[in-house]
Chains A and B, each alone.
Chain A
Amino acid sequence: MITKDTRMVRIAALQSIPAGEGRVFLVEGVPVAIFHARSGKVYASQPDCPHRGGPLADGLTGGDTLVCPLHGWKFNLETGKGQNCSIQTYHVETDSSGYILMKWPQITGG
């Protein structure tokens, strides 16, 4: 039986991403785009745009909207929903000392 537990992975200090921007992090061998919104919230998503592979971390953000830098497709960073198609988003949060933590699935059993 496959069960999915989760554990928290520490990404980096919040200040290592400038407010309003995104950066790609290698988390447990998987690239993930992490965004530091001006509101102080953090978001995480797949790094490549489903349209033509544009680098999403290089996009413009505003509220919970992300705009891909190549052809302007828009995605909601909270839900992953986009006008044309969706992206995978992940749960991230910050802890009391200002570190970004990401909930990471841990697969046990088989």
Chain B
Amino acid sequence: MNAQNKQRLVVIGNGMAGMRAVEEILERGGAEQFQITVFGDEPYGNYNRILLSNVLNGSQDASDIFLNPLPWYARNNITLYAGVRAARINRNEKQITGSDGTTVYYDKLLIATGSSPFVPPIKNLYEEEKRLRHGVYVFRTLDDCTHIAGYAVKCKRAVVIGGGLLGLEAARGLLNYGAHVTVVHNMPYLMNAQLDAQGAAILQNTLERMGIAFRLNANTSKVLGEDAVTGLEFDDGTQLSSEMIVISAGIRPNTSLAAECGLTVERGIVADDTMRSVDDPNIYVVGECAQHRGKVYGLVAPLWEQAQTLADHITGRNLFAVYAGSRIATKLKVMGVELASMGCTEASDSQDEVVVYSEPKRGIYKKLIVRSNQLAGAILLGDSGKAAHLMQIFDRQSELPEDRTQLLFDIGPAASAPPLLEMPDETQICNCSGVSKGTLRKCALSGIRTVKGVMEATRAGMGCGSCRPLVKEIVEWACEGRLEEDPSVHYYVPGVPLAKPELVEAVLAQKLKSVSAVFNALADGKEDPGSKPGLASLLKTIWAGEYEDERDARFINDRVHANIQNDGTFSVVPRIYGGVTSPAQLRRIAEVAEKYEVPMVKITGGQRIDLLGIKKEDLPRVWKDLGMPSGHAYAKSFRTCKTCVGTEFCRYGLGDSTALGIQIEKRFQGLESPAKLKLATAGCPRNCSEAMVKDVGAVAVEGGKWEIYVGGAAGAHVRKGDLLCTADSHEQVLQMMGRFMQYYRENAKYLERTYGFLERVGIEKVRAVVVEDREGIAKRLDEAMQAGIDAYRDPWQEAHQTHTPHQFAEMITAEGTI
């Protein structure tokens, strides 16, 4: 169908509801039916507004919360006017006028303008006509977030007006900027919409312990300060000093556009059960600006349901689709506080049954309100373990078990089977990705019988994660006990169904010398991209010089011998044996850094120098100009041997740690292994080179001896190495280290560092094989290690002769039209 036959769909509002509706429409083949245009007041693609709290508290980057970045619109042929407000709707002409004068005609219009923060009447709040003064903010958009964060760093004291869900999230976020934060609330207790007085008191206590102060029953009348904000005054005349104010006093639906063009507006724009305006069959309404059956919603879950109904209807997929309203449950996302609330918070009459459990000291409060044996409301504070379960029961109004404690605690046998069985397929289980029970069930029945597999296929549980226990239960139930443990946890790599010993056996028996040969022989020819690097590493270890090196099996770092950075550039770390360098070497590094305008030159934690931000196509020239071998800072291989000065200069030195370190590094450089190998030598037990927390370390002790430690770690995991043995000479150190490393190379799982390997296998076993040769394989290990060393070739030599076509090319020009 070409553009002319399509209907023009115009969407006002580029927020969560509007774009979700568009996604639902596209999913129903809407791209064929509609030419879509979107007006968005905010100058961005569509982002996840819920996560603004995380952006404010610093736990997520603004760039992480985009749902549909700008290129998504272009790819889906959607015209987006980003940063353009729809200023007028002309229903006679079916025309929208934008704030910049753009005019667009529609056949169907979707209003999704959301809400704006409510700003209570307070004196001295505005700079000029309707512009909040510097230091006073609302919290709704990404820009608000940026402004608040930018100002907060300069403030010692901050006030949040409003003790509701958002106000508390904002207050917690502001704490992270080092400000002293006070929440001002005009009610007797916090979160009065979701909590009762007793629960709120416990929540307040928990938040006070985090450092937030409160002023309740306080009505702000005036902002103090002439140029800069200095504080607040309340209607009782008392004052509170503060350099910034964040107002979070509720929201008001954005309805003026609709009202001006004559649509019925009450609290929101009034819509029917198909989410169409009650006045105009060509205008749909969705999201926080919509009023449906008298209700206006302020949370996303109902918006998803509205968007589905709307999409069914507008595309004609299901003209009978009906949105019947939602029951909503709320979760507070304040770091360190668990709180879920649903339905009413107080009994409405003496017939209602109220169940309360309270443990103020631990900040725990649980309350249920039961009406005719159904859940009318619940509060879970401090321990929301049962929240997912209660939300389901609440949502579908199931009959409750006689023993109410089962609803509050996990004790005794789980009573989950009957409610799951009764739960209708439509019930939404994952609120982040909008996945229903039925979708999960069907996915499990289609043959994906692992929890992980179902989660990956449906995206359930991949957002905030709070529904994961329930997803697991449903998958287990749907498989009727035929749930499979994800067997790949025992495999060496997920794509080849064999544990390491069996895999090695098959590789040897069938003489499989390349990664593609392994897939063909052992995985039905099915290539799994994620398994390739692990197999490449293993084959190289087994076959050394005979290994058939297929470059596509390597991760990009190992194809270009440098470490990829967040912007697609690379870092170059030349080898500096034992951390000992020379003026000539330093001069050369300096010259290269200048010549290639290297953005950052850094001394690494591994005693060498990192040149960061190098373009891929410059890599070969950089290496040539450096004239130094690769430091393998990018590879799963032997990395470095850190040294201390030792006997050379140090007054305590007992052994020549630098000479030994250089010998070690020259011998084992670049050797592939299941994970990184970082070594060190120390000239005495003061251990300045941290040899006891390295994968393999040698520490000089009195009497010309070296203690060899293995399995140490001081990165993501900290572990003191186990003493393997004491060696008498440098030669013996090299031999023992080599034999240990070979044993590790052959037996560790892919990406298993020595610290994990030692904990799994045990030092006794390792010592028995490596030192005492109880299995009689010491000689073979030594020979295999020697073969690995002999097969070593400095990868940076590929600067002189590339290994694959266009190995370092960033962009190749296509030949052209034929």
Contact = CB atoms under 8 A, between A and B. Distances in A.
A23 B555 CA distance: 14
B532 A60 contact: yes
A50 B71 contact: yes
Contact of A31 (B69, B526, B811, B815): B811
Contact of B814 (A27, A63, A72): A27
B566 interface: yes
Interface residues of A, number: 52
Interface residues of B, number: 45
A33 to B, nearest CB: 10
B566 A70 contact: yes
A25 B813 contact: yes
A21 interface: yes
Interface string A2-32: 1100011111100111111101111110011
12 contacts: A9-B814, A12-B812, A20-B552, A21-B552, A25-B811, A38-B516, A46-B71, A50-B69, A55-B556, A63-B526, A88-B75, A101-B818
B811 to A, nearest CB: 5
Contact of A2 (B3, B69, B551, B555): B3
Given A3-B2, A65-B529, A66-B529, A58 B556 contact: yes
B522 to A, nearest CB: 14
Given A10-B818, A59-B556, A15 B527 contact: no
B814 A18 contact: no
A18 B805 contact: yes
Contacts, number: 130
B279 interface: no
Contacts of A19: 550, 552
A49 to B, nearest CB: 10
A34 to B, nearest CB: 9
Given A10-B816, A20-B550, A62-B528, A54 B2 contact: no
Contact of B812 (A10, A16, A55, A84): A16
A59 B553 CA distance: 10
Contacts of A54: 568
A69 B529 contact: no
Interface in B506-521: 516
Contacts of B495: 62
B568 A18 contact: no
A42 interface: no
A69 B814 contact: no
Contact of A21 (B3, B551, B568): B551
Contacts of B816: 9-10
Contacts of B553: 20
B23 to A, nearest CB: 10
Contacts of A15: 805
B804 interface: yes
B495 to A, nearest CB: 7
B72 A10 contact: no
A43 B530 CA distance: 19
Interface of B: 2-4, 63, 68-69, 71-72, 75, 456, 459, 495, 516, 526-533, 550-553, 555-556, 559, 564, 566-568, 804-806, 809-818
Contacts of A12: 812, 814-815
A16 B531 CA distance: 25
Interface string A71-103: 010100000000111101000000000000110
5 closest cross-chain pairs (CB), A and B: A20-B552, A62-B529, A62-B527, A60-B529, A58-B556
A6 B527 CA distance: 33
Q: Quick one: which of A1, A58, A60 has the most chain B CB within 10 A?
A: A60
Nearest to B64: A52
Given A16-B806, A18-B805, A60-B555, A25 B814 contact: yes
Contacts of A66: 529
A53 to B, nearest CB: 7
Contacts of B813: 25-26
Nearest to A31: B811
Q: Quick one: which of B806, B811, B814 has the most chain A CB within 10 A?
A: B814
A2 B4 CA distance: 9
Contacts of A72: 530
A27 to B, nearest CB: 4
Contacts of B555: 60, 69
A85 B815 contact: no
A74 B456 CA distance: 11
A63 B495 CA distance: 12
B323 to A, nearest CB: 26
Contacts of A46: 71, 75
B568 A53 contact: yes
Nearest to B564: A69
Given A58-B564, A85-B68, 11 more contacts: A8-B817, A10-B817, A18-B805, A38-B552, A50-B69, A55-B568, A61-B529, A62-B529, A63-B526, A70-B566, A102-B814
B244 to A, nearest CB: 31
Contacts of A25: 811-814
Nearest to B805: A16
A11 B531 CA distance: 30
Given A38-B527, A50-B72, A26 B556 contact: no
A70 B806 contact: no
B151 to A, nearest CB: 27
A96 B712 CA distance: 57
Contacts of A84: 459
Contacts of B805: 15-18
A38 B816 CA distance: 25
B550 A11 contact: no
B716 to A, nearest CB: 17
A25 B459 CA distance: 33
A26 B811 contact: yes
B393 to A, nearest CB: 31
B527 A70 contact: no
A19 B533 CA distance: 15
Nearest to A39: B527
A20 B528 CA distance: 12
Contacts of A102: 814
Contacts of A31: 811
A58 B529 CA distance: 12
Nearest to A63: B527
Contact of A9 (B528, B552, B817): B817
A23 B812 contact: yes
Contacts of A7: 817-818
A17 B530 CA distance: 20
Given A1-B2, A2-B2, A83-B456, A67 B529 contact: yes
A67 B809 CA distance: 20
Contacts of B530: 60, 62, 67, 72
A83 B532 CA distance: 20
Contacts of B72: 50, 85
A54 B555 CA distance: 14
B239 to A, nearest CB: 46
A86 B531 CA distance: 23
A75 to B, nearest CB: 11
A1 B531 CA distance: 50
